[in-house]
A and B are shown apart, each in its own frame.
Chain A
Amino acid sequence: MNRIIKIVLLDILKNKIVVSYALILALLSWGSFMLEDNTAKGLLTILNVILFTVPLVSILFSTIYIYNSSEFIELLLSQPIKRKKIWISLFAGLSIAMFLAFFLGAGIPLLLNAPGMAGLMMLLSGSLISIVFVSLAFLSCILTRDKAKGIGLAILFWMYFAILFDALVLFLLFQFAEYPIEEAMVGITASSPIDLARIQILLHLDQSAMMGYTGAIFKDFFGTAIGLLVSFVLLVLWIAVPFLISIRKFDRKDL
């Protein structure tokens, strides 16, 4: 393994915040499975917790960690290391750490209590969502030098995707209730990583029946193998695009 990734990873794992994050996830997951009488209900509870907390912790922790690593980055820059390698190693280190925390915290109870397709889907989407928000953290860090602004931007990203986006979708649904917008909704969903993950998991829980006609359209599209592939490709794009923008900027930055 690359030396810098190792240094970053060890530094993060020493940090007690990530460990407590994993513990809290574990507590929530085990708790939901024990409190609900069937796994589907348990999964739904976990789903809501995961889609709310995982993005928040990922983006906030990563943003603050990157700002706090500015000394480390500066130190490495005067050493014979490629600029891009420094940035990629930081990203890899943070992504691995957030993935590990999610996997150990929520992944293990999921695999033990809901070993089916739905559990696997939740594990996969949760991991991807963790990394998507690490990538968005890199974008907000590179957009501004000011730590307070950068962290503020990260919080805005999270608020937008976790809260505002749903409100916007609801607003659109009510405004255009008279029109056949179900298919357009499929397209709009792609513009939020959290909703992509939510729909994939809901479809595997067979809860889409509760979503009426829109649910049926969603099932027609996202329920197929191609739909599944498309939504995962979209999630990967949500990781790649913000990070690629940030690495381009980092390569040209004066430090």
Chain B
Amino acid sequence: MITLKNINKKFGRLQVLQDVNLEFKAGECIALIGPNGCGKTTLIKSILGMVLPDSGDILLHDESVLKKFEYRNTIGYMPQIGRYPDNMTISQIIEMIKQIRNSKKELDEDLIKAFKLDKMSDKQMRTLSGGTTQKVSATLAFLFNPDVLILDEPTAGLDPLAAEILKEKIIKEKNKGKLILITSHLLSELDEMITQIIFMQDGKVHFHKTIKDLLESTGETKISKSIATILKEKQHEQNN
């Protein structure tokens, strides 16, 4: 569904993405993990057209998305830190995005109800806590029933109850055959959701494996432990 071909990106002298080649298929739920500053968010923003790669190509349904914009109709994006105009209320933000998208598709308002946003729809964005802002971001990402969901650290800042609601929603959408891309540091949370894992380091893709392969190759039962095993092995190699 989405293909990245030889993506390179430099910020000044810093190489943030180095020859990244990846392929994502519909119905997968893919976790993008790696240390801070390894290029996860830059990769996601390149797919969204917010960061423009220096070289390489990004394809959605075998069509290049560079310098295009219509394709974003099929993508729902939840940013790591949602930033919204301060003086607009929750309902105004949602209404504005609806107007801008002008979508004729049926809207998916499950999360508005699940997060009880309808009860505080008159609150201004600047008065909201970080977690509530995240809830608004999540709602907007799922609102238009997109085929691709890109979630940057979705559960960071959410209380356990809200995180659970969001996780259930993600699993539900995955089962509908959507492509879901998640970046996260909370490996323990990913266990029930994801089908594939991509590990990035210093702007390079370290590995891209299905969960089954990963668990088999390391002989562990939990994702977090198998990643830890791989990291230890790598450190061991470097020390020698």
A252 cross-chain contacts in B, Cβ below 8 A:
52
Could you tell me if B79 and A79 are in contact, using CB atoms closer than 8 angstroms?
no
Q: Given A70-B83, A71-B85, A80 and B51 touching (CB < 8 A)? A: no
Contacts known (A3-B99, A4-B100); A80 close to B70, Cβ less than 8 A? yes
Q: Which residues of A contact B69 (CB under 8 A)?
A: 80-83
A6 to B99, CA, bound (A): 11
Q: Which of B70, B85, B86 has the most CB of A within 10 A?
A: B85
> Which residues from B are CB-within-8-Å of A255?
45, 50-51
Q: Which of A59-101 contact B (CB under 8 A)?
A: 69-72, 74-83
Complex: A76 Cα to B101 Cα, angstroms: 10
0/1 interface trace, chain A 216-255, chain B, CB 8 Å (1 if under)? 0000000000000000000000000000000000001011
Q: How many A-B residue pairs have CB under 8 A?
A: 59
A81 nearest in chain B by CB position: B69
Q: Which residue of A lies closest to B103 (CB)?
A: A80
CB–CB A3/B100 < 8 A: yes
Identify the closest chain B residue to A78 (Cβ).
B77
Nearest residue, chain B, Cβ from A14 = B87
> Which B residues touch A71, using CB under 8 A?
83-86
B83 contacts A75, C-beta separation under 8 Å: yes
- B77 contacts across to A, CB distance below 8 A: 78
- B27 near A: Cβ within 8 Å? no
Task: Please give the distance in Å from B45's CB to the nearest CB on chain A.
Answer: 8
| Closest chain A residue, CB of each to CB of B150 | A78
A3: nearest residue on chain B (CB-CB)?
B99
Interface size class of A (residues with CB under 8 A): 20 to 34
CB of A87, distance to nearest CB on chain B (Å): 13
Once the chains bind, are A80 and B71 in contact (CB under 8 Å)?
yes
The verdict on A163 contacting chain B, using a C-beta distance below 8 Å, is no
Asked if A143 CB lies within 8 Å of chain B CBs, one says no
List CB contacts (< 8 Å) of A1-49 with chain B.
3-4, 7, 11
Complex Cα distance A11/B172, Å?
Answer: 38
Contact with A along B33-76 (1 / 0, CB 8 A): 00000000000010011111000000000000000011111010
Q: Is the CB of B83 within 8 A of A254?
A: no
The residue among A3, A4, A76, A77 with the most chain B CB atoms within 10 A of its own CB is A77
Q: Taking A3-B99, A4-B100, A80-B69 as contacts, is the C-beta distance between A254 and B48 under 8 angstroms?
A: no
| A70 CB contacts on chain B under 8 angstroms | 83
| Contact A75 B51, CB 8 Å, known A80-B70, A80-B71, A254-B11 | no
B172 to chain A, nearest CB (A): 22
- With A77-B48, A78-B48, A79-B100 given, is the CB distance from A72 to B85 under 8 Å? yes
Q: Are B85 and A79 in contact, with the CB atoms below 8 A?
A: no
- In the complex, which residue of chain A has the Cβ closest to the Cβ of B96? A7
Chain A residues within 8 Å of B, Cβ to Cβ: 3-4, 7, 11, 69-72, 74-83, 252, 254-255
Chain B residues close to A by CB (< 8 Å): 11, 45, 48-52, 69-73, 75, 77, 79, 83-87, 93, 96-97, 99-102
Known: A74-B79, A254-B51. 5 other contacts (CB 8 A): A72-B84, A78-B79, A80-B101, A81-B69, A255-B45
Listed A/B pairs (17) with beta-carbon separation below 8 Å: A4-B100, A7-B96, A11-B85, A11-B87, A69-B85, A71-B86, A74-B50, A74-B79, A74-B83, A75-B83, A75-B93, A78-B77, A79-B100, A80-B71, A83-B49, A254-B45, A254-B51
